[in-house]
Amino acid sequence: MNLVGLCLNLLYPPRCPFCGRVLEAWEEGMCSRCQESLPWLQGAGKTVEFCKVCVSPLWYQDGVRRGMHCYKFWGGQDHARVLGLLMAQCLSDRWGEPMDCITWVPLSAGKLRRRGYDQSRLLALRVGELTGLEVVPTLEKVRETHQQSRIVAHSARRANVAGAYALRESADVEGKRVVLVDDVVTSGSTLEECAACLRMGGAEEVIGLTLARAR
């Protein structure tokens, strides 16, 4: 490690993205306690309409919920390195078939301005970096929605996001196999809506990839 790196490390020691503990020298990305205790998701992915499947490495609970909240709202952008790595590993373990490109579920322009960064885009970029797949912006959010996590009924969630996303004019997904990235999948309504836009734009196949899945 060079001198600048060393100083940065002393000033801002790398922390576990899930529990916030400062990492020991031998720990990489996350602490060993979280590595063992996080709710890793086993088995088949979630069924989501217009997607072949939606795969996620973790359940959305406990430390994962805390970590993601921090990542989303407190500027934990650095965490995308580790979180994106978990997603890239999950994609190759659970799906493994060749894909053409990666895209993400976008924030609305207003929300992006307020938050300063789009967490799903950062995750998509990291997954792209690790898998070598091209990361392309294909979707835009054209209508504000209520927060999905506050709505219980699946039909109400569907209605909330109906028509909220559209394919960008510049998007070219014709005949492509697309990985669609988001942070959490709950009912799957948002992914369904975005995947439908991609399929209507001619995408051959869409795979959902999220960091976590809510029960």
Residue ranges binding Zn ion (CB under 5 A): 16, 18-19, 31, 34
Q: Which is nearer to Zn ion, 89 or 148 (CB)?
A: 89
Q: Which is nearer to Zn ion, 37 or 155 (CB)?
A: 37
Cβ of residue 149: shortest distance to Zn ion, in angstroms? 23
Cβ of residue 66: shortest distance to Zn ion, in angstroms? 10
Q: Which is nearer to Zn ion, 58 or 198 (CB)?
A: 58
**Calpha distance 9→14 (Å, rounded):** 7
Cβ of residue 81: shortest distance to Zn ion, in angstroms? 15
Query: What is the token pair recorded at 137?
Result: 């912006």
Cβ of residue 30: shortest distance to Zn ion, in angstroms? 5
Cβ of residue 114: shortest distance to Zn ion, in angstroms? 29
The residue assigned the tokens 């959902």 is 208
Please provide the DSSP assignment of 121-159 as one string. Answer: HHHHHHHHHHH-PEE---EEE-S----GGG---HHHHHH
Answer yes or no: are the C-beta atoms of 165 and 197 closer than 8 Å.
yes
The residue assigned the tokens 């869409």 is 206
Q: Which is nearer to Zn ion, 66 or 168 (CB)?
A: 66
Q: Which is nearer to Zn ion, 62 or 129 (CB)?
A: 62
- Which bin fits 130, alpha (ψ -120 to 50), beta or left (φ > 0)? alpha
Q: What is the DSSP letter of 46?
A: B
